[in-house]
Amino acid sequence: MKKVAILANGGDVSGFNAVIRGIVKTAENNGIKCYGVIEGYKGLLENNYIELDSYSNASGILYKGGSIIGSSTNANVFNYKVEEDGKIVYKDLSDICVKNVKKDGFDCIFTLGGDGTQKSARDLYLKGLNIIGVPKTIDNDVACTDITFGYNTAVSVAMEALDRLHSTGETHHRIMVLEVMGRYAGWIALESAIAGGGDVALIPEIPFDLKKVAKKIKERIKKGKRFSLVVVAEGAMPKDGEITVKSTRNNGTGVDNTKLGGIGEKVAEELQKLTGLEARNTTLGYMQRGGTPTAYDRVLSTKYGAKAMELALEGKFGVLTVLKNGKLDSVPLEKVVGKNKEIGAVSGNTKESNLRRVTMDDDLVKTARNIGISLGD
Ligand code: F6P
C-alpha cells in the first residue's frame, strides 16, 4: 500500500477534519501518501485531488468545522446530472471514477458520509475499488453503528440552545419550542431534550398528540412552572397526520430531495391555543452542523480515522468503520446498504434505506419516560 485518498460527501458535520487528520497521520506513520479528493464524489469524477500533509495543509485542522477538502450534496455518480444539447439528462458515470482511481494508483478510497454516500461506496466496491467507509451525519441514522461522527456536536449545540431558551422562557412564562434536525430519526431531539432539561420531546418514531402535551404543560403550570421547553424533531408528525415538508432540495435524482422543516412553528401555534400560555418557536437549523466539534466528536472522529487506515493496512475493504458497544469494529458495506441491493439503485434517505431510528427499548426513551419527559403519546 502506497497511496490512499479521502473523500467527504453529503451535508457537512463538525468532525470531518478530525477524521481526515486521523487518516492522514496514521497513513504517514506507516509511510503511506494520503490525498484528499475535492468535493466528494464530484472530485472522483473530475479526478480532482490534492496531496495532504499533516505538517502543512492538513495541520491545525482538528478543531475546525467544515471540511478542508469540501463536500458535495448532489454528486451521485451513478445518476449524475449532465447537460447534453441544452437538455439536462442523468447518466451513470461511475466507470469514469473507477478508471480515474485505477489510473492514478490509489490503493484505497475512504468515503466519509451517511447512508447515501455509503450506498455509492458499496457500488464502487462492487465495481472493483478498494473502499472503506466512515459513518458521518448529525442525524445519527446510519445502520450498523452505535454512533456517527458529528452527532454529538449537534446534540451539544441543541443543548446549549435549550439552556438559553430556558431562561427567557422562564422569565416571560412562555412555551419555548426548539425545532432540531435529524430527518426521519429523533436522536438529536431526544438526546438534547434529556441534556437540556426539556419537558417534551417529539420525535418521528412516536407520532404525537398535542392534547397530551398540553396536559403535561398544564400540570407544570399547576405546580408553579409557568413555562415549558418543547423539543421537536423536524421529522416529527401528529398522529394521523403528515410530516411537514418545507420545500424541495436539489440533490440530484435517485436521492430524497424532501426539505423538512416547519413543524416547530405549527406545534407552537397549537400549544398556545391549547394551554393559554404564549408560545415561541426557534428553528436551530445549520448551527447544528457548523463550527468546532465537541471533545467527544474529536476523539470519535480520530478513532474512526485511525481505525479506517488500520483496516486499509489489513487489506479489509468494502467495509464501514463502526462503533459497537463502545468498541471500534467494521461491518460489510453490504449490510449498511440494506435493502438497496441493486447497483445504482436509489440511494439516500428513502423508504428502502436501512436507516437506524430510535427504538422504543432504547435507554434514551426509557430514561425520558422515567423522568417524566412527555413524548407526546
Ligand atoms: O442529513 C443531515 C441534515 O442536516 C438533516 O438533518 C437535514 O434534514 C438535512 O441534512 C438538510 O439538508 P440540506 O443541507 O440539503 O439543506
Instruction: Supply the pLDDT for residue 337.
Output: 86
User: How many other β-carbons are positioned within 10 Å of the β-carbon of residue 46?
Assistant: 15
Residue 347 predicted with pLDDT over 80: no
Mean pLDDT on 193-220? 98
Atom index in ligand 1 nearest the CA of residue 289 equals 4
Give the confidence band of 359 by pLDDT, cuts at 50, 70, 90.
Answer: very high
Pocket test for ligand 1, best of 12, 139, 149 (most atoms within 8 A of CB): 139
Q: For residue range 89-125, list pLDDT tens digits in order.
A: 989 999 999 999 999 999 999 999 999 899 999 999 9
Residue 136 CA to its chain's centroid (Å):
6
Judged by average pLDDT, the poorest of 89-103, 221-235, 346-360 is 346-360
* Amino acid at the residue 131: I
With bands split at pLDDT 50, 70 and 90, how would you rate the model's confidence at 345?
Answer: low
Domain 3-150+293-337 shares a fold with domain 154-288+360-370: yes
Q: How far is the CA of 11 from the centre of ligand 1 (A)?
A: 6
CB–CB of 123/344 below 8 Å? yes
CB count in 10 Å sphere of residue 325: 6
Residue 260 beta carbon below 6 angstroms from any ligand 1 atom: yes
pLDDT tens, position by position, 140-178 = 999 999 999 999 999 999 999 999 999 999 999 999 999
Q: Is ligand 1 within 6 A of the CB of residue 139?
A: yes
- Report how far apart, in Å, the C-alpha atoms of 260 and of each of 119, 291, 344 are: 22, 22, 25
Q: Does pTM top 0.75 for this prediction? A: yes
Domain positions in the chain: 3-150+293-337, 154-288+360-370
Cell numbers at 43, concatenated: 472530485
State the closest ligand 1 atom to the C-alpha of 286, by its place in the atom list counted from 1. 4
As a whole-number percent, the residues of the chain with pLDDT over 70 amount to 96
CATH of 3-150+293-337, one of 3.40.50.450, 3.40.50.1100, 3.40.50.620, 1.10.260.40: 3.40.50.450
Instruction: Look at the domain 154-288+360-370 and name its fold.
Output: Rossmann fold (3.40.50)
Between 55 and 74, where is the model more confident? 55
3-class DSSP state for residue 68? Answer: coil
pLDDT-derived band at 340 (thresholds 50, 70, 90) equals: low
Query: Is the distance from the beta carbon of residue 181 to the nearest atom of ligand 1 less than 6 Å?
Result: yes
306 lines ligand 1 (CB under 6 A): no
Residue 316 Cα to ligand 1 middle (Å):
31
Cα–Cα distance, 15 to 61 (Å, whole number)? 10
Provide the annotated active-site residues. Answer: 139
How does residue 351 score in pLDDT terms, banded at 50, 70 and 90? low
Pocket lining: 136 vs ligand 1, CB cutoff 6 Å = no
| Centre of ligand 1 from the C-alpha of residue 114, in Å | 11
What is the distance in A from the centroid of ligand 1 to the CA of 248? 12
State whether the beta carbon of 71 lies less than 6 angstroms from ligand 1. no
Which of 112, 259, 284 to mutate for ligand 1's pocket (most ligand atoms within 8 Å of CB)? Answer: 259
Residue nearest to atom 14 of ligand 1 (CA): 11
Write out pLDDT tens, residues 233-262.
Answer: 999 999 999 999 999 887 777 778 889 999
Count of other CB atoms within 10 angstroms of residue 133 = 31
